[in-house]
Amino acid sequence: MSNTSNLNSPWRSKPQPHVVYTGGGLENGMGIEFSGKRGALFWLALKTGFFTILTLGFYRFWMKTRLRRWYWSAIRPGGHPLEYVGEPLEKLLGFFIAVVILTFYIGIVNLMLMFVSFSVFESSVIGYMLSFVGVIPIWFYARYRARRYVLARTRWRGVRFGLEKGAWGYAWRALWYWALTIISLGILWPRMTFLLEKYKIDRTYFGSARLLQGGRWQMLYRATLPFVASLVFLAVAVLWTVLIDPVFPNGIRDGSALFSSIDDLIETGKTPADWVKPERVFLFPLALSGMLFGAIYYRWVSKRIMANHKIGPDVQFASRLSGVRVTFVYVLGNFLAYLVLIAGLVALVLFAAIAFFGGFGLAPEMMGAEALAGLPRWVSLILFAVVYLTLFLMWGVLHNTFVTFPLMRHMAVTTSLPLTAGLELISQRARDEFAEAEGFAEALDLGAAI
Amino acid sequence: MSQGFDGFGSAFFDGDSPVPKEVSLHIAAGMLQIGLDDGETLRWPVDEVRQLPDLAGGKTAVLRRTTDPLSRLHLNDLSLLAHLPHLNRRAPPKGRGRLVAWAVAAVAAVGLQIFVLVPLLADNLAGFIPPEGERALGEATFGQIREALDETGLNPLAICDGAEGVDALNTLVGRLGSGRDLRQAVTVSVLDHKMVNAFALPGGFVVLFRGLIDTAQGPDEVAAVLAHEIGHVISSDPTRHALRSAGSIGVLGLLFGDFAGGAAVLFLTERLISAQYSQAAEIGADEFAYEVLAQAGISPAALGDMFANLQAEYGDSSDLAAHFLSHPTLSRRIIAARAAVDESIAYAPSMSAEDWAAVQVVCD
């Protein structure tokens, strides 16, 4: 068979995309099912999150492992679940290794930076900035390493995935593309998105088969349309309300005058006589929400476009992901999760006010306030800590249930493999031992949660 | 005796090729027999079969054999599971020694860093920061402290500016520092807060709280506290402390990081560490204070009296809260201060009655 040569790296000829007729169903190809129930995930996230709090955070390695096992096994290309074989103990080991290495870097480097910042610049801001900038390359490095670990511990139909070494190469490229993106005022953002994805995908294996990110970076401009349109809309709104036909023709002399005018507006419903069509200021929140929508839309639709150009040897991917739907899920899910967080925080502040300071004059009217204020201080402290931790637990659980779950499900069911002829020629790859697991990402809080 | 199961929809993966193989399933003589299409039959002893945990969906199961890390049997007929006795038995953990070794190494690295390397480096570097730099560091920290202590959340905590009181305090500093190289100009400020405390910041800032002046039985006690804080300024303790914090906060951030915000844990731990390592510095500042007070003709016992007031206010270090006051046991220091009194000398008050009255109303 002529394609066998493609299967062993380094391949001698690049796989070429085939024209696959998907109109009449997936005769030769396969779809991806998603078979998990939201309720089951909720309980798993709640249970493991609870243990994490009980163990002061140590169970998080187990929590992460169990959640990944669940998510992976819910995703079923051709009806067969993915398998996550990562172990909690190896994550714990990786965390220790990363702490040993990073302690010296972070401690000494921060101290030196502070010293230089005060000696030379006489301010701490530069020191904080430099210490932040210094972590950025390690941050990208850690992201690539974390991805390598996760892929090395992912199997489908008993065959391992894998990512080649190359974390520093990724970190330097990421820094360079970011610099270009900033210099070009964001115009080269799609180039960064595409080239970083290509760097990762071109080093990704399934068994013996290497994947390839095809296409060109210019194709991602399509995904920026909603964002660019909102930006133009914002620019026009600014021009109209500030230059062409100003809302405040006499200018705003001081902020307090503006606030008192707004108070009048709320109480009497009348606007000051010198304002011109003030309802136009509502164009700004509209334009800004459009930009938020556009940013989320870009992130996911660029994934779809690139997925449609991912190929392996006689294997091809296709995605029908809906940008609008994903954005909706993303916004609504995050809204729910943050709503709980904010409601909880408000409750917490009230609780603290009553328990520690006897309330700011509002205590007597509230039910139970007397009893709370009468508690010994250490009981209040423990109660406070419990409520605080529960809040973050609930946020994590809701985020899993209402953001990660629907997004994963949508991604899974909209992705398919229209061409799978090459699968038969794939064989197993060797295990990637990878002692430090995702320790760096864990220590640097990259949120490598799922 | 053999029992058959429904193999429809089940699949076997040999751990090499991602192509499913159809199977027929039987259990006979303590063996799970997996019949493949090519006529081969795999025999897995039932007590060596394990089930993959946390599988989503619930209507299927994935089985593996303990001796084979790669092969997988995807199962649709769950009635088979009842015949497998050790489905959820865990493998004995591997590499436990290695894990413990790295855990010890991580704790040791953090300990070495926080208690040895960072203090060592901070102590050595503190002497090299130019005065302007120290001043900037002190101003920034002072601003942060004033904001942190404010309870209204609007303006930084007020600095008391009663002109006569401020003059009296400055005169006192001049008297205490006469004939000595204070390394840098000492700036005294009083903060309008009821806390009974005082502290020194890099760049020669000495800060008293109104509560301390209110609690003091006389001007000598305030003078004694001032002398103590000037002792910190001279040995550049605050600068070292600031550098140490910069180093150790980053390290602790690594450890506690994203677990539930971590900020609270970070703050408390940092306080504990600073209380730990400034005890030697406190004793040094006390000794400096006795010397300066004696030279200015003020009784060193005043420092002991101030500590006695503190003790009455907060109790001794025996309870947990006192540990966060970053001072060694007060009783010991009261005895030391009283021992520093020379009976043969007639001590004079540190300021006139009018000046003391002005200092007492400096915040009004």
What is the per-residue pLDDT across A235-245, written as a single tens digit (0 to 9) for each? 998 888 877 77
| For residue B232, pLDDT beyond 50 | yes
- Reply yes or no on whether the pLDDT at A306 is more than 80: yes
Residue A365 pLDDT > 50: no
CA angle A157, B6, B27 (to 5 degrees): 90
pLDDT of residue B117: 84
- What pLDDT does residue A24 have? 41
User: Does B355 have pLDDT greater than 50?
Assistant: yes
Mean pLDDT lowest among A202-206, A213-217, B41-45, B150-154: B150-154
Q: Which two tokens stand for residue A202?
A: 């071109």
Q: For residue A279, what are the contacts with CB-CB under 8 A and spacing of at least 6?
A: none
| Best B73, B137, B269 residue to mutate vs chain A (most A CBs within 10 Å) | B137
In the predicted model, what is the mean pLDDT of chain A?
A: 81
The predicted structure's pLDDT at residue A358? 54
B111 and chain A in contact, CB less than 8 A? no
According to the model, what pLDDT value does residue A251 have? 63
Residue A299 banded pLDDT, cuts 50, 70, 90? very high
Whether A153 has a pLDDT exceeding 60, the answer reads yes
Q: Which residue has better confidence, B126 or B323?
A: B126
Burial label, B194 (beta-carbon count in 10 A; 0-12, 13-18, 19+): exposed
Residue of A nearest to B57 (CA): A36
Check pLDDT > 60 for residue A361: no
**Rounded average pLDDT over A87-104:** 84
Q: How many CA atoms lie within 13 A of B276 on its CB side?
A: 12
Question: Which residues are CB-neighbours of A151 under 8 A, at least 6 positions away?
Answer: A161, A162, A163, A204
pLDDT confidence of residue B91: 77
Percent of all residues in chain A with a pLDDT value above 90, rounded to a whole number: 38
Q: Which residues numbered 320-359 in A keep a CB inside 8 Å of some CB on B?
A: none
Q: Are residues B20 and A83, on separate chains, in Cβ contact within 8 Å?
A: no
> Is B299 exposed, middle or buried, given 0-12, 13-18 or 19+ CB atoms closer than 10 A?
buried
- Taking phi first (over 0 means left), then psi (-120 to 50 degrees means alpha), and beta for anything else, what does residue A160 get? beta
Interface membership of A53 toward B (CB under 8 Å): yes
Locate B77 and state its tokens.
Answer: 């007929």
Closest partner CB to A392 (pick from B57, B253, B260)? B260
Do B323 and B188 belong together in one domain?
yes
Return the pLDDT at B320.
41
Residue B337's domain comprises 103-360
CA distances from residue A422 to A15, A26, A206, A430 in whole angstroms, order as listed? 11, 15, 11, 20
Boundary of a domain, candidates B14, B48, B83: B83
Mean pLDDT taken over chain B: 80
B6: domain CATH number is 2.30.29.30
Domain ranges of chain A: 219-292
For residues B247 and B333, membership in a common domain is answered with yes
Domain boundary among B83, B114, B140: B83
A310 in B contact zone (CB under 8 Å): no
B69 located within any domain = yes
Same domain, B20 and B149: no
- For the question of whether the overall pTM of this predicted structure is more than 0.80, the answer is no
Count of the separate structural domains present in chain B: 2
Q: Using CA atoms, how far apart are residues A118 and B240, in angstroms rounded to an integer?
A: 12
Angle between helices B163-177 and B219-234 (to 10 degrees): 60
- In the predicted structure, residue A125 carries a pLDDT above the cut 90: no
For testing contact with chain A, the best of B100, B115, B251, B252 (most A CBs within 10 A): B251
> Is residue B171 in a domain?
yes
Structure-model confidence comparison of residues A383 and B288, the more confident one: B288
Per-residue model confidence (pLDDT) at position A271: 66
Q: Cβ–Cβ of B109/A104 closer than 8 Å? A: yes
> Looking at beta carbons, which residues of chain B come within 8 Å of A104?
109, 113, 117
CA distance A423 to chain B (A): 6
Q: Which contacts qualify for B127-132: CB closer than 8 Å, 24 or more apart?
A: B127/B236, B128/A115, B128/A119, B129/A115, B129/A118, B129/A119, B129/B202, B129/B239, B130/A119, B131/B184, B131/B203, B132/A122
Q: What's the pLDDT score for residue A374?
A: 60
Q: What whole-number distance in Å separates Cα of residue B292 and Cα of residue B300?
A: 9
Q: Which residues contact A250 (CB under 8 A, 6 or more apart)?
A: A274
Closest CA of chain B from A247, distance in Å: 31
User: Does B179 lie at the interface with A, CB-CB under 8 angstroms?
Assistant: no
**pLDDT band for position A366 (cuts 50, 70, 90):** very low
Q: Which of A368-382, A398-412, B186-200, B227-241 has the lowest mean pLDDT?
A: A368-382
Q: d(Cα A382, Cα A401) in Å, to the nearest integer?
A: 28
| B residues 23-52 lying closer than 8 A (beta carbon) to A | 52
B136 interface with A at CB cutoff 8 Å = yes
Who wins on pLDDT, A307 or A105? A307
Helices B118-126 and B237-256: crossing angle, nearest 10°? 150
Which range is least confidently modeled, A43-57, A99-113, A205-219, B48-62?
A99-113
Instruction: Report the pLDDT averaged over residues B279-298.
Output: 83
The model's confidence at residue B115, banded by pLDDT at 50, 70 and 90, is confident
The answer to whether residue B60 scores a pLDDT higher than 60 is yes
Please give the angle made by the CA atoms of A360, A365 and A371, to the nearest 5 degrees. Answer: 85
Choosing from B22, B52, B83, the residue where a domain stops is: B83
Of A99, A119, A122, the CB nearest to B254: A99
Contact residues on chain A for B68, CB-CB shorter than 8 A:
none
The minimum CA-CA distance between A286 and chain B, rounded to whole Å, is 31
Q: Does the pLDDT value for residue A155 go beyond 60?
A: yes
Domain co-membership, B109 together with B57:
no
Q: Which residues of B touch A158 (CB under 8 A)?
A: 13-16, 18, 70-72
B71 shares its domain with B107:
no
pLDDT above 90 (res B326) = no
Contact check, Cβ <8 Å, B99/A447? no
Q: How many CA atoms lie within 13 A of B345 on its CB side?
A: 15
Residues B210 and B278 in one domain: yes
Which of A350-364, B60-74, B102-116 is predicted least confidently?
A350-364
Please indicate if any CB of chain B lies within 8 Å of the CB of A163: no
Q: Is B232 exposed, middle or buried (0-12, 13-18, 19+ CB in 10 A)?
A: buried
Q: What are phi and psi of A19, to 5 degrees?
A: -85, 115
d(CA A352, CA A375): 12
In the predicted structure, residue B33 carries a pLDDT above the cut 70: yes
Please report whether residue B224 resides in a domain: yes
Question: Could you tell me the pLDDT band of residue A447, with boundaries at 50, 70 and 90?
Answer: very low
Q: Would you say residue B324 has pLDDT above 70?
A: no
Q: How confident is the model at residue A269 (pLDDT cuts 50, 70, 90)?
A: low
Residue B98 resides in a domain: no
Residue B99 contacts A where some CB pair is shorter than 8 Å: yes
A275 close to A247: Cβ distance less than 8 angstroms:
yes
- Alpha-carbon span B216 to B202, nearest angstrom: 25
At residue B280, does pLDDT exceed 50? yes
Indicate whether B89 belongs to any domain.
Answer: no
Whether residue B125 and residue A426 make contact (CB cut-off 8 A), yes or no, is no
Of all residues in chain B, the percent with pLDDT exceeding 70 is 84
Does residue B250 carry a pLDDT above 90? no
Chain A: closest CA distance from residue B130 (Å): 6
Q: Take residue A98 and report the two structure tokens written for it.
A: 């990363």
Say if residue B252 is in the same domain as residue B317.
yes
**List of chain A residues whose C-beta atoms are within 8 Å of the C-beta of residue B14:** 158
Contact B221, A80 (CB under 8 A): no
Mutate to test the interface with A, among B254, B266, B270, B273 (most CBs of A within 10 A): B254
Contacts 24+ apart (CB under 8 A), A336-345: A336/A398, A336/A402, A337/A395, A337/A398, A337/A399, A337/A402, A337/A403, A338/A395, A340/A391, A340/A394, A340/A395, A340/A398, A341/A391, A341/A394, A341/A395, A344/A387, A344/A390, A344/A391, A344/A394, A344/A395, A345/A391
Q: By mean pLDDT, which of A348-357, B112-121, B313-322 is the weakest?
A: B313-322
**Pair B281, B154 in one domain:** yes
Q: Does B18 touch chain A (CB under 8 A)?
A: yes
| Rounded Cα distance, B288 and B297, in Å | 14
Same domain, B78 and B146: no
Max mean pLDDT among A95-109, A215-229, A276-290, A380-394 falls in A215-229
- Both structure tokens of B192: 């309008």
Asked if residue B191 and residue B134 are part of one domain, the reply reads: yes
Looking at chain A, how many residues does it have?
Answer: 450
Q: B67 and B200: one domain? A: no
Does residue B153 share a domain with residue B11? no
The answer to whether the complex's ipTM is over 0.90 is no
Judged by average pLDDT, the poorest of A427-436, B137-146, B310-319 is B310-319
Interface of B with A in 51-90 (CB under 8 A): 52-60, 62, 70-72, 74
Test B56 with A157 for CB contact under 8 angstroms.
Answer: no
* Inside any domain, residue B244: yes
Which band of pLDDT confidence, cut at 50, 70 and 90, is reported for residue A255? Answer: low
3-state secondary structure labels for all residues of chain B: CEEEECCCCCEEECCCCCCCECEEEEEECCEEEEEECCCCEEEEEHHHEEECCCCCCCCCEEEEECCEEEEEEEECCHHHHHHCCCCCCCCCCCCHHHHHHHHHHHHHHHHHHHHHHHHHHHHHHHCCCCHHHHHHHHHHHHHHHHHHHCCCCCCCCCECCCHHHHHHHHHHHHHHHCCCCCCCCCEEEEECCCCCCEEEECCCEEEEEHHHHHHCCCHHHHHHHHHHHHHHHHCCHHHHHHHHHHHHHHHHHHHHCCHHHCHHHHHHHHHHHHHHHCHHHHHHHHHHHHHHHHHCCCCCHHHHHHHHHHHHHHCCCCCHHHHCCCCCCHHHHHHHHHHCCCCCCCCCCCCCHHHHHHHHCCCC
